[in-house]
Structure 1
Amino acid sequence: MSNMKTGNDLSMFEKLPDEFLSLVIQTLVSEEPDGSSMKQLSLTSRRLRSRCLPALFQQVSVDCAHHQTSVPPPASWPFVRTLVLFGSFTTYSGFHMGNFLGTLLHLVMLRKICFRNLKGGVCWLHLEQLCNTPAFRVLEIMESSAFRRSDFWFPPDTCHTKFPLTGFIYTIQDPYVSDWNENRRPALPRRCYMAPLFLALHQRLEVLHLPSAMAPLEQMASLDWPSLRELKLYDEHCEADPNIFARLCSRMPRLRILDLRFFHTGPSTQTLIWAPDPSLTAPLSNIETVYLPYPDPKDALYAHLPSTLRKLHLVDCPRYYRFNVKLTETIDGFTKPYLVTASDLLGIFDEMPGPFTALEQLEVAFKADANERLLSRHIVTTFPNLRFLQLHRYRSEGESESDNETAVESIGHDISDLLHLRHLRLYINLPKDDFRYPVSEEGSCDTRVASSEELTDLFYGYAMTIAQNCGPALHTIDFLSTWIYRRQVWTRWFISRGGKGHIVVERCRDESGDFFLPSVCYLSDPS
């Protein structure tokens, strides 16, 4: 795009069908944060302008120090959905300089306001000035975990309900990443300075995202959350009370998404939501998505999941392959988790009152044992309409490469009855591809490391084996390598079928990384 300067160069986009033009615009949004090419494209014709402006102005950033002169232009007003405010104020009057607040009244689609690294933090004055924005419903605060703030406070005789907020998101910009010989982030504060605000809004909030270590769980469990439908807790979790989540969920009758994207730093080695205690009850009839790291087979949660469940992720987060080596003491600050076996996972699924015909996504991690085949068959019968399946299969003691090949063949055969399966992701935990730390480790040379060419050939064979067993809906298979490519990477393979059912397996050159904490990320707009 940067080289297309003539009208003829740009006018060729005018001839593109809508679906292809949408792909071009999506690519420009992701590849060019400054939007320079899209601005140029929007000047070509009325049609391109109508397609580019909504994407170009979906998010607008304003430096608080110059807010009076950096208001969004009138052409953007109908399209702005997210406003990012950053920097610092030059006076104590907040947004009163210029016509900034008057402009906000025209942003009728502005749903989310995000404060990013605001010097001094967010205070009552800022929110009071913004609360008249017509569609403002979601507040996000993005900050470094190193910031230490004074608690948010309400002036005397203030009506808490004047804020129109239904969503509160607190995003730390430096999630904890632990690797060999890297600087580790200091531990998170054990409180969120904005807690007085979101606790005061407990009757109204529908979406709440917090770092788990900063969430006042005891206070939250003492309040009713009648409207909350989405709870996300991420990063460190050090809570020792085994009943805290059952008590918390019992206060959330409309909860639809329970997303615990955290890792344990306290005494727990698994995630327990609902201890087998008959005195505790949790209304789970509306739950659609559950995301839990290192599930506990004793958890009573699974027996109460509704048949309308749509997504279930029982994951190894942090990734177990980093703990599954001798040098685990390098992962300091983390509690070594307990990974369920195939038998444990089978027991969890047996507790679930299936079949779950609405479930479309399933992600599980387990250590192989004698019940592995029963597990995969049970997955097929209990979740017959899966469209996405991710399996992290950690080999049992003494398994060889031939055992891995047999396991892949069995998986391909067992899931062949998933007629709607479109995307399969597998981690096979190959002996030649074991994760290694970049230091000498006793015994690390006992296992030969495969070459990248060998691994590519192996993954091609695995993909072909699975494709030959599965139906025509399957078109994508990903395999995870933890060492051979000198990084943790998912390689992607596309499946197509030619004439007479001939199967073609092609490797995609686009690769995605696998992270130690794969689910810690910037949290997006819940709307």
Structure 2
Amino acid sequence: MSDGIRRQLNDDVLAQIIAELVQQSTCNLLPLSETCHLSRTLCKPFIFSHATCHIGEPVRSRRMLIPTFMWPYIRYLMVIDDCPDQAAGAWVHARSAMRHLYYARDPYLCGVLESPKLFSLLRHMPRLTKISLNLQDYRCVHGVSWATLKSILALPQLREFWVDLLLSPTQSPSHNDETDFSPLTLLHHERGVSDIYPPTTTERANIRYLLTKLCLSLEVLTLPAELVPVSALSSWNWPRLRELRVRGARWDSPSTPYTTLFSNMRNLRVLVLELSLSVEAEPRPISDPAMKAFPWPDLEHFSVSHPVVHDSVYAHLPRRLRVLTLSCCPHKAEKPALEASDRVYAYPTRTGSEILEILQRCRAQELLELQIEYHADESENLLLGFLSSAFPKLQSLEIYRYRHPNTGDIAVVSSTCL
């Protein structure tokens, strides 16, 4: 970059150019960073803001894992757990026999991540605000120890934590543990092995302990349904929570309506309840018929599985709602692929008439995205015609439609095209 151009473009202008390029792709910064020393200095915080490392053995050198020059710039670190002991948990669970462990003392806990050198490395990344712990194979029965969790969550700069390892299924904090956790704004936990390895009592206690520490700061929370501390949710304050996503098998007890369970989450804008049912379970309404006030006035995204036709919640959805999903979980279309699964699902799919009845009670005229799942019946034309008139701003319509065998095509009038 010539001196003349540099005099015309001050640092603020260059920073704006860099910000525009970053929105497209970080790769766009590489040619710019090679033009001069100033450009490279301004680009480095963006080029090196993300790092991914695969860890297959305990960290023996911080420099060997991530080059020293990158440490001051990393904001997001993704750790892929390649521990050779990953299969040990599943082996023990399935065969009740101990398999040789390379680094772990417990077949359900990762010994590779419990490394003082790794913790030291994290403390030397001043801009690190997001950490993700991922399994190489998400179906492995493999967990992170409490010592590792505590060391990560105590990082003062950390704000977002993503983890798909089990949350210390065999270890809990001691009674005199007074570790101060960072005020996380996002906690995202996926659990891909609930069908073969249900949560332990210790694991449930750990998530409960974490939420008591984090509920005042969390803004986004994603949890497996099997780990949700249902009985305690309504007793905690959630002043900042904007997004709640719960996925997994619906709990049977307590049967308290969700509008009561989540009543302290007054600032929710996104509520996703992707809850599957067992074959003997019945769909459950979201709200209490006697509900006097809708608890989430700012709700913009509402996703519910197995909707109940006479649920009063749909008449109370705010006009500003932007996204609505009414479907099965999993979709009935996925049934053939899931027949070999260890879990047997129910698919109580609504008819077109029932979905129409639900939508006729909604006042969400600002709706932009809609997903529905139904069995076609004689009211399908009415349903599709209603969509175009009731939701004039709709931009995305996703339909999972089923019909009985040996039925002819159902004509759809052209006026329903969006």
TM-score (norm 1): 0.58
Match of 1:143 among 149, 165, 170: 165
Unaligned runs of 5+ in 2: 1-16, 84-109, 136-140
Cα distance change, pair 236–41 in 1 and its aligned pair in 2 (3 A): farther
Aligned-pair CA distance for 1:23: 10
Q: Distance in 2 between matches of 1:321 and 1:167?
A: 32
Q: Distance in 2 between matches of 1:79 and 1:365?
A: 43
Q: Structure 2 matches for 1:459-498, cutoff 5 A?
A: none
Aligned-pair CA distance for 1:315: 1.9
Are positions 1:314 and 2:326 aligned together? yes
SS at match of 1:343: helix
Aligned-pair CA distance for 1:74: 2.2
Q: 2:191 is matched by which residue type in structure 1?
A: I
Match of 1:123 among 146, 155, 160: 146
Q: 1:226 is matched by which residue type in structure 2?
A: P
Q: 2:357 is matched by which residue type in structure 1?
A: G
Cα distance change, pair 48–343 in 1 and its aligned pair in 2 (3 A): farther
Aligned-pair CA distance for 1:398: 4.5
Q: Distance in 2 between matches of 1:67 and 1:260?
A: 43
Are positions 1:399 and 2:417 aligned together? no
TM-score (norm 2): 0.72
SS at match of 1:414: helix
Cα distance change, pair 302–242 in 1 and its aligned pair in 2 (3 A): farther
Q: Deviations over 1:207-262 (max 9, x none)?
A: 21111112221222332322221111112224254424222221211111111223
Whether the 8 Å contact between 2:44 and 2:73 is mirrored in structure 1 is no
Are positions 1:152 and 2:169 aligned together? no
Q: Deviations over 1:317-361 (max 9, x none)?
A: 2221355x9x9986763342211111111111121124x22x211
Q: Structure 2 matches for 1:80-479, cutoff 5 A?
A: 80-84=75-79, 86=81, 87=83, 94-95=116-117, 100-105=121-126, 108=127, 110-116=128-134, 121-123=144-146, 126-128=149-151, 131-134=154-157, 136-143=158-165, 149-153=169-173, 156=176, 158=178, 162-173=181-192, 185-189=196-200, 191-192=203-204, 193-265=206-278, 267-278=280-291, 282-321=294-333, 333-354=343-364, 356-357=365-366, 359-396=367-404, 398-400=406-408, 403-404=409-410, 406-407=411-412, 410=413, 413-416=414-417, 418=418
Whether the 8 Å contact between 1:243 and 1:273 is mirrored in structure 2 is no
Q: 1:251 is matched by which residue type in structure 2?
A: N
Q: 1:289 is matched by which residue type in structure 2?
A: H
Q: 1:149 is matched by which residue type in structure 2?
A: P
Q: Distance in 1 between matches of 2:279 and 2:257?
A: 14
- CA RMSD, aligned part only? 4.0
Whether the 8 Å contact between 1:115 and 1:122 is mirrored in structure 2 is no
- Count matched residues: 363
Cα distance change, pair 113–22 in 1 and its aligned pair in 2 (3 A): closer
Aligned-pair CA distance for 1:201: 2.1
Q: Distance in 2 between matches of 1:91 and 1:399?
A: 57
Counterpart residue number, 1:478? none
Counterpart residue number, 1:425? none
Whether the 8 Å contact between 1:269 and 1:337 is mirrored in structure 2 is no
Whether the 8 Å contact between 1:123 and 1:153 is mirrored in structure 2 is yes
Cα distance change, pair 332–399 in 1 and its aligned pair in 2 (3 A): farther
Cα distance change, pair 19–221 in 1 and its aligned pair in 2 (3 A): closer
Cα distance change, pair 395–282 in 1 and its aligned pair in 2 (3 A): same
Unaligned runs of 5+ in 1: 1-16, 29-37, 177-184, 419-527
Aligned-pair CA distance for 1:167: 1.9
Match of 1:66 among 60, 63, 77: 60
Aligned-pair CA distance for 1:263: 1.4
Whether the 8 Å contact between 2:33 and 2:43 is mirrored in structure 1 is no
Cα distance change, pair 101–332 in 1 and its aligned pair in 2 (3 A): closer
Cα distance change, pair 334–281 in 1 and its aligned pair in 2 (3 A): farther
SS at match of 1:366: strand
Cα distance change, pair 415–253 in 1 and its aligned pair in 2 (3 A): same
Q: 1:345 is matched by which residue type in structure 2?
A: I
Q: Distance in 2 between matches of 1:257 and 1:249?
A: 12
Q: Distance in 2 between matches of 1:76 and 1:298?
A: 56
Counterpart residue number, 1:77? 72
Deviates more, 1:291-300 or 1:41-50: 41-50
